[in-house]
Amino acid sequence: MIAIIKYNAGNIFSVRAALGRLGAQSVITGAAAELKAAQKIIFPGVGEAGTAMAYLKKTGLDEIIKNLKVPVLGICLGMQLLCKKSEEGGAKCLGVFDAEIKKFQSPTAKIPHIGWNNITDVKAPLFDKSLENAYVYFVHGYYAPLCAATAARADYILPFSAALQKDNFYAAQFHPEKSGDTGEKILKNFLEL
């Protein structure tokens, strides 16, 4: 069973629908027992880092998530919360990835970064070479800089981590569930880990 973490910040139903299109059964839950029993976990998110972290700490989900041993996929805010800290709300995050989330700054470019953008320097196992230069859908005003855990890169205002990977933790700044065939392929790769 695939668990989608429910924590009051999410695009959980579009993620569940995308998994359903791939024939995967999923449960939306914030229950420790269900998360610990899942074979794979998706940590989605749309929202504000400070508020989301406060909720995770209040419910004990923060400790559960960072100690998971099965494959975990963080999406958008879920990816950012897996990093060390975020400039958004001055949040101290989960610290899985050694990266600090920064706010985009530009006098001319639109912020947030919304729309289709290509990813490069993609690394297995979440990405295969057929996904090099593929277009995916982004909606974010904050980003993870390039770092040792970068598994794909994108450029908007500056180069940033479009995806991260360390041990059993995978993360995408973009929304695979809204990225058409490319996103479906990435989710399929995650399900096949």
Q: Which residues are catalytic?
A: 76, 175, 177
Where residue 61 falls (left for φ over 0; alpha for ψ -120 to 50; beta otherwise) is alpha
Distance between CA 191 and CA 193 in Å, rounded?
6
What SS3 state is found at 131? helix
Rounded to 10 degrees, what is the CA torsion of 152, 155, 156, 157? 130
Element (H, E) at 52: helix 49-59
